[in-house]
Amino acid sequence: MRTLVNIFHAILSFFSLRYRLMKMLRDGDVASFNNWRKKNPNKERIDLHEAHLYKANLSGADLRRINLWGAELSEANLRGAKLSGTNLYRAHLWRVDLRGADLDNVYLPGADLQGANLSKKDLRETDLSCTDLQGANLTRADLQGAKLRGANLAKADLRGADLSCTDLQGANLSRADLQGAKLRGANLAEADLRGADLQDANLSDANLRGVYLQSANLSRADLRETNLTEAVLSWAILTEAKLWRANLTRANLRGTYLQSANLTEVKYTEDTTFPEGFKHEDHGITLP
């Protein structure tokens, strides 16, 4: 009987604490919340899963290592918030303001980050698998080695972002702005880049096998030694692009603009489709 009573008190204590902490955050009383955390340093894993914090003002809040799985944080102000080690799995973060926030080791798979401001954020090796980043601001963000497999980055602003060695397999990057982005060694196999702007982007040594690049703008892009096997490049713009030693096996370049493109030593087969009227000798390549 005493054991049951102890269990009941533990459950009551858990929900009482959860209610108090959530009220502080909902009311925007960040000072009281941070003060409570300072006085209770041993509370390592605070459970606030599925908390409703829509439009909450959490600027500067200490949310480190808190479980916010599935939480509703859309349009919340998280400027300068501490989110190191926080569990935001499948959390709703639509149009959230994360400027100045500490996102070190944050857990974000499946999160809804549509329209979020992540400009200049350090997201190296962060797990963003299957996240929804449609229309997000990721200008000059550091995403080196990040996991973005299956993520939705349609219409996202990734100008100047560093995506070197990032896993973007199967990701949706249609109509995304990737001007000047660094994608060296990235895995973009079967990714959707239709209508994307990749002017001056560095895609050297990247894996673009089976990628969809219809109508994409790759002017002056660096595609040296890039794997473009079975890639669909129809009507893409590759003016002045560097394709030295690129692998174009079974690639579709029907209607592709290749003016002044460097195709020296590219690898291709009889199944590779070049634009109508394409003259191999004008681009420094020989028939296989």
201 CB contacts (<8 Å, ≥6 apart)? 178, 179, 180, 181, 182, 183, 218, 221, 222
- Considering the domain boundaries, does residue 287 fall inside one? yes
Which domain covers residue 148, as residue numbers? 113-288
pLDDT digits (tens, 9 = 90+) for 41-84: 877 678 999 999 999 999 999 999 999 999 999 999 999 999 99
Is there a domain that residue 52 lies in? no
Q: How far apart are CA 123 and CA 164, in angstroms?
A: 12
Residue at 91 is within a domain: no
pLDDT for res 99: 87
- What pLDDT shows up at residue 282? 65
Between CA 46 and CA 23 the distance in angstroms is 14
Structural domain contains residue 187? yes
Exposed, middle or buried: residue 92 (CB in 10 Å: 0-12, 13-18, 19+)? Answer: buried
In a domain, 234, yes or no: yes
Per DSSP, the residues of 192-220 read B-TT-B-TT-B-TT-B-TT-B-TT-B-TT
Q: Classify residue 70: in a domain, yes or no.
A: no
Average pLDDT over residues 241-267: 94
pLDDT of residue 27: 94
C-alpha 219/C-alpha 217 separation (Å) is: 6
> What is the C-alpha to C-alpha distance for residues 81 and 248, in angstroms, rounded to an integer?
46
Is 5 a residue whose pLDDT tops 60?
Answer: no
Global confidence as pTM: 0.88
CATH number of residue 175's parent domain: 2.160.20.80
Q: What's at 245, amino acid-wise?
A: R
Query: Is residue 177 scored above 90 in pLDDT?
Result: yes
Phi and psi of 38, rounded to 5°? -65, -35
Domain assignment of residue 103, yes or no: no
Number of domains in the chain: 1
Summary mean pLDDT of the chain: 91
